[in-house]
Amino acid sequence: MLSDEETQEIKEKILSHIESSFPAEQIANAKQQIELMNSKQLESFLEKNKMVKANESGTDSDNDCVFCSIVSGKINSVKIDDDDDAIAVLEINPISKGHTIVIPKGHSDKSSKKALVLAKKISKKLKKKFSPKKVELSASKLFGHEVINILPVYNRENMDSKRNSAKIEKNEKIKEELGKEKKIEKIQKKPKIEEIKQFFWLPKRIP
């Protein structure tokens, strides 16, 4: 059975997915259905839509959780980096600009040191590009799959702060910003008078 916190987080992700991918005339009805679901109904919905599948022992399948579906591409996301062990995608319900989750490619409820390496790399990039006061890393777990949240803090944001729905197009723009290199103008140093004299020697004037 999903906890209240897990239920709310999953609903937020599904609602954001609906807003970014459903036809306009279907959005309101689909969102209302998701919002009215209790935890048991939500689990049934996830199973039917192959977003999570219970095995014979009653635990979650290690192949069809929400995060595994993001890794496999079954759920749309905006990927900003990856390596052999994990991928980094922009959160679809971000707390702040650049909020990213790093997802280990292998389904596991244990923390991944290799995923943490990628998270630290993304953290440095966010600091450089968006200049937040700080960037916080925190692990969370759903469906037995641990992920790392990378949260840029501009004011007093934390993982309990209000989340906002971000459409795919908005996250694509943030990805573009992260990919752009800052232009650094080279300032030419003006030679000193003494240096000029060394290059231009003139004979003394003879009257």
Residue range 4-180 in CATH 3.90.550.10: no
Q: Within 13 Å, how many C-alpha atoms sit on residue 145's CB side?
A: 22
pLDDT at residue 93, as a whole number: 84
DSSP class of residue 17?
H
Structure tokens at 71: 């890794």
**Token pair for residue 166?**
């971000």
Stretch 118-145: mean pLDDT, rounded?
91
* pLDDT > 60? residue 92: yes
Q: For the segment 5-52, what is each residue's pLDDT rounded down to a tens digit?
A: 778 878 877 777 777 666 677 777 778 778 887 877 777 777 666 565
- Boundaries of every domain in the chain: 4-180
Structure tokens at 24: 């306009």
Q: Note the pLDDT of residue 60.
A: 43
What average pLDDT does the structure give for the chain? 79
Task: Identify the DSSP state of 60.
Answer: B
* pLDDT higher than 60, residue 83: yes
Determine the Cα–Cα distance for residues 6 and 89; give it in Å rounded to an integer: 19
pLDDT at 79 over 80: yes
Tokens 């890794």 belong to 71
On the question of pLDDT at 201 being above 60, the answer is no
